[in-house]
A and B are shown apart, each in its own frame.
Chain A
Amino acid sequence: MTDSLFDKLGGEPAVDVAVDIFYRKVLSDESISHFFDDTDMDEQRAKQKSFLTMVFGGPHEYTGKDMREAHAPLVEKGLDDSHFDAVAGHLQATLDELGVPEDIAGEVMTIAASTRDDVLNR
């Protein structure tokens, strides 16, 4: 049996480490941080964790519909491709920082890219 992507990345402990690195990058980026001004940090971190679990290939309950509903208010505030690209950049930087090999990081980025249309409600 071959290891799943989630196992190769280190499973839930890896997500726990990644989420703080990732969320700190997102919060520090002034081009996107204003989208989170009204959100509770605990809830937001929990959401980032679910998102990372999904793109790490882990067990998750996200559906395209959830993605659309969650981001619809942000799209109204102007969320567009440039913001999606910024977040994707922070995800890539997080994977780099964790020393994830290029081929595995590539798989993660492919899953993340597949959410673009749902996130931007297209």
Chain B
Amino acid sequence: MATLRFDGGEIPCTGDTTVLDALLEAEQPVAFSCKTGMCLTCLLQATEGSVPEKSQKGVKDTLTAQGYFLPCVCIPEEDLELASPNDADLFSRAVVTGKEMLSPNICRIVMEPATPLYYRAGQFLNLRRDDGLMRSYSLASVPHLDRQLEFHIKRLPRGKMSNWICDELATGDSLDIQGPNGPCFYLPDRKQGNMLLIGNGSGLAPLIGIARDALHTGHAGDIHLYHGSRHVTGTYLHGELLELESEFVNFHYAPCLSRDEPPAGYRAGRAEVTAIADFPDLKDWRVYLCGYPPMVKSARQKSYLAGAAMGDIYADPFDLRDLRTEPRKEE
């Protein structure tokens, strides 16, 4: 058993309980979202005691050096003294400079960061509202092509942040941003290699960033982008992607519809199933998978079985807070 010292109190952490669960059981008001070590919403600082290496995976080294770690995947091996994150370490400000609905359920917002942000296309930021509500969103922009940050926000039923962004956030408003985070981005070392990009819903956002990044830096191999949606209205960048396809001979776009009857130019069926049927041999390919977690999981296994090396499959499952196993607590 380890003892956690936090905010003046002592909290026991026993067995396989994570630091986050111990804090939540003790009714500490800590922020969290995915609970799988991906989103970095729950970052805390260990000011005394050391944390397992696994709990610092994906945290950048300037932060791990200060003891930052992910409580949601930390089963402590010794007593820890914990501190809430220092805002200046993690957050900066960005102002909304543009907003439009791309489809009935997907909103594009464009933001200008107060200080330049060094990121790679395909990574994600955490956006925090002034009351502390925070969620992760993938960047759709490319640093060397776009001056501003772009996000595609999908409206979720009961989604507090997404509904607020779609309905209330306005040009001129500011938000806190934390990041960049995530290992899902283009690597320029294998220019001749083929790439398979599969996303559904707003999982398209990081993929279009990765595709544009690769194409504009001279990627020579083929890049195949499969975007899955139930309905035609969900293929929210259809026009832009067709344009990109006509601009680059090695870029190929396949919109896939799992429910609507496919009009000309569309494919019938789920994106990952269609993609792997088209390319049953993925040896030496790089594969990027973004969006709904069950799709990402299934596509990851299919890609591996089709011959892609495990290390060449980059997965960014959009784990939603509302899908977690405990009942939702009021924030």
Q: Chain A: residues with CB nearer than 8 A to chain B?
A: 20, 24, 27-28, 41-42, 45
Q: Which residue of B lies closest to A33 (CB)?
A: B301
> Does B304 reach chain A (CB closer than 8 Å)?
yes
Judge if B102 is at the interface, Cβ distance under 8 Å. no
Q: Is the CB of A45 within 8 A of B305?
A: no
Q: Which residues of A contact B305 (CB under 8 A)?
A: 24, 27-28
| A98 smallest CB distance to B (angstroms) | 16
Q: When the two chains form their complex, are residues A27 and B310 in contact, meaning their CB atoms are under 8 A apart?
A: no
Interface residues of chain B: helix, strand, loop or mixed (majority): helix
Query: In the docked arrangement, what's the CA distance between A41 and B309, Å?
Result: 12
Residues of chain B touching chain A, judged by Cβ–Cβ distance below 8 Å, are: 300-301, 304-305, 309-310
Residues in A whose Cβ lies below 8 Å from that of B309: 20
Complex contact A42–B304 (CB within 8 A)? no
Q: Is the CB of B304 within 8 A of A24?
A: yes
> CB-nearest residue of chain B relative to A44?
B310
Partner of B300, one of A20, A28, A41: A41
Q: Find the A residue at minimum CB distance from B315.
A: A41
Q: Which residues of A contact B301 (CB under 8 A)?
A: 27, 41
**Nearest chain A CB to B85 CB, angstrom units:** 27
12 A–B pairs (Cβ distance < 8 Å), ordered by A: A20-B309, A20-B310, A24-B305, A27-B301, A27-B304, A27-B305, A28-B305, A41-B300, A41-B304, A41-B310, A42-B310, A45-B310
> In the complex, what residues of B have CB within 8 A of residue A42's CB?
310
Residues from chain B with Cβ under 8 Å of A41 in the complex: 300-301, 304, 310
Bound-state Cα–Cα, A28 to B302, Å: 9
What's the minimum C-beta distance from A119 to chain B, rounded to whole angstroms?
23
Residue among A28, A41, A42, A45 facing the most chain B CB atoms (10 A cut-off):
A41
In the complex, A42→B183 CA distance in Å?
Answer: 15
A27, B309: Cα distance in complex, Å: 14
How far is the CB of B61 from the nearest CB of chain A, in Å?
Answer: 21
Q: Which 5 A-B pairs have the closest CB atoms?
A: A24-B305, A45-B310, A28-B305, A27-B305, A41-B300
Contacts of B300 in A (CB 8 A): 41
Q: Which residue of A lies closest to B311 (CB)?
A: A42
Q: Which chain A residue has the least Cβ–Cβ distance from B306?
A: A24
Chain A residue numbers with a CB within 8 Å of B304 are 24, 27, 41
Return chain B residues, CB-CB under 8 Å to A45: 310
Q: Which residues of A contact B310 (CB under 8 A)?
A: 20, 41-42, 45
Question: In whole Å, how far is B148's beta carbon from the nearest beta carbon of chain A?
Answer: 35
A28 to B304 CA separation, bound complex (whole angstroms)? 10
B101 to chain A, nearest CB (A): 37
Shortest distance from the beta carbon of A99 to any chain B beta carbon, whole Å: 19
A75 and B222 CA atoms in complex are apart in Å by 45
Q: How far is the CB of A4 from chain B (nearest CB, A)?
A: 28
Contacts of A27 in B (CB 8 A): 301, 304-305
Among B305, B309, B310, chain A packs the most CB atoms within 10 A around the CB of B310
Q: Which residues of B contact A24 (CB under 8 A)?
A: 304-305
Nearest B-chain residue to A42, judged by Cβ: B310
Q: How far is the CA of A42 from the CA of B312 in the complex (A)?
A: 12
What CA separation (Å) do A3 and B193 show in the bound complex?
A: 39
Closest chain B residue to A23 by CB distance? B304
The closest CB in chain B to the CB of A46 belongs to B310
Closest beta carbon of chain A to B257's beta carbon, Å: 28
Given pairs A27-B304, A41-B301, 12 additional interface contacts (CB within 8 A): A20-B309, A20-B310, A24-B304, A24-B305, A27-B301, A27-B305, A28-B305, A41-B300, A41-B304, A41-B310, A42-B310, A45-B310
Closest to A19 in B: B310
A1 to B304, CA, bound (A): 40
Name which residue of chain A comes closest to B309, CB basis: A20
- Shortest C-beta distance, A86 to chain B (Å), equals 17
A27 to B302, CA, bound (A): 10
A21–B278 alpha-carbon span in the complex (Å): 22
User: Which residue from chain B places its CB closest to the CB of A25 in the assembled complex?
Assistant: B305
Within the complex, the shortest CB–CB distance from A9 to chain B, in Å, comes to 21
A29 shortest CB reach to chain B, Å:
11
Q: In angstroms, how far is the closest chain A Cβ from the Cβ of B301? A: 6
CA distance A28 to B307 in the complex (A): 12
